[in-house]
Amino acid sequence: MSGRRERAQPGLRGEPGLAVETDGLTKRFGHQVAVDGIAMAVPTGSVYGFLGPNGSGKTTTIRMLLGLVEPTAGHRRLLGQPMPQRAGETLHRVGSLVEGPAFHPYLSGRSNLARLDAGDVLADPRTAGRRIDAALDRVGLLAAARKRYRAYSLGMRQRLAIAAALLAPRDLLVLDEPTNGLDPQGTREVRSLIGSLASDGSTVLVSSHLLAEVEQICSHVGVMREGRLVAQGTLAEVRGAGPTTVRVGTRQPEAAARVLRELGVEEVRPMNGEVHGIPGDLEPEKIVAALVHAGVGVQGFSVARASLEDLFVSLTGEGFDVSG
């Protein structure tokens, strides 16, 4: 042991509870800023949904985390280790799927994995067959192991790519758009797989454009806009950052809207037999009492937090694909 002490990276504390941690992470391509000083915090054991419109910087961020692209500025840690200083001893604990799978079309699924496994200098060739079968079984492809890759469906190809990431034990899985282009059945298969990986203790960072998928499988989310991380936290925390909305069911929408505006409710809008608005600090009881006092018949009244879709639109100014 040399006794040399590792110099700490400025701005990074090396939190033991974080599988991914960045500070001021920035990437410029010429004069264009693709990622602008982001501070990610992905808790160990979480499924972290990385959201954002196309071109918001998600894939560039992922490529920087994996060492595929060097940042212009900032610092990053994976599994508590500084990158790229400890890349050699850290990246073998990280599995990834970035920008879609690429395999030899005329080889079988098993043969493709065997080629990848043979290129891993840390893999024991004596246990290759066992590990390949275990990875195929994990993603539900053991029965199709001898089938040529070109005959695989899109969902099977995505699952084979995830199997490739599972050839060795992984503490962190980074999946960039793992359900991209899949039909509903393929999407469900990948969603179930991600859930099972997290249940086994792996941390999963998944970039996705399907909001419904994120809401079903993710415990934490981060939202990117124009290269900046504009929201981050647990799913409940991020949802809670959105405005509360009141909905009044009534046959007198114009009168109800007038009362709400007089009370100071913002963004009041009548629609389809209801009136919606953002009450701010107004108590729901006060709103109902004012409506009744004004002679407005109230058929229904509800208070709801903004959906993740509403919050995404408010943060990015763009719509979002909520299909799934």
CATH number at residue 280: 3.30.70.980
Residue 317: the pLDDT is 63
> Which of 211, 238, 265 corresponds to the end of one domain?
238
Name the band, by pLDDT with cuts 50, 70 and 90, for residue 314.
Answer: low
Let me know whether 51 and 164 are in one domain.
Answer: yes
Q: What is the rounded CA–CA span in Å between residue 229 and residue 242? A: 16
Q: What is the rounded CA–CA span in Å between residue 29 and residue 110? A: 39
Residue 192 is inside which H or E element, if any? Answer: helix 184-199
Residue 307: the pLDDT is 66
Q: What is the rounded CA–CA span in Å between residue 33 and residue 61? A: 12
Number of domains in the chain: 2
Averaged pLDDT for residues 154-161: 87
Residue 4: the pLDDT is 37
Where in the sequence is the domain holding 144, given as residue range(s)? 18-238
Q: What is the rounded CA–CA span in Å between residue 198 and residue 31? A: 39
Q: What is the rounded CA–CA span in Å between residue 168 and residue 162? A: 11
Residue 18: the pLDDT is 95
Using the predicted structure, report yes or no on whether residue 169 has a pLDDT greater than 60.
Answer: yes
Q: Kindly report the CATH number assigned to the domain that includes residue 132.
A: 3.40.50.300
Let me know whether 230 and 248 are in one domain.
Answer: no
Percentage with pLDDT > 70 across the chain: 87
Q: What mean pLDDT value characterizes the chain?
A: 86
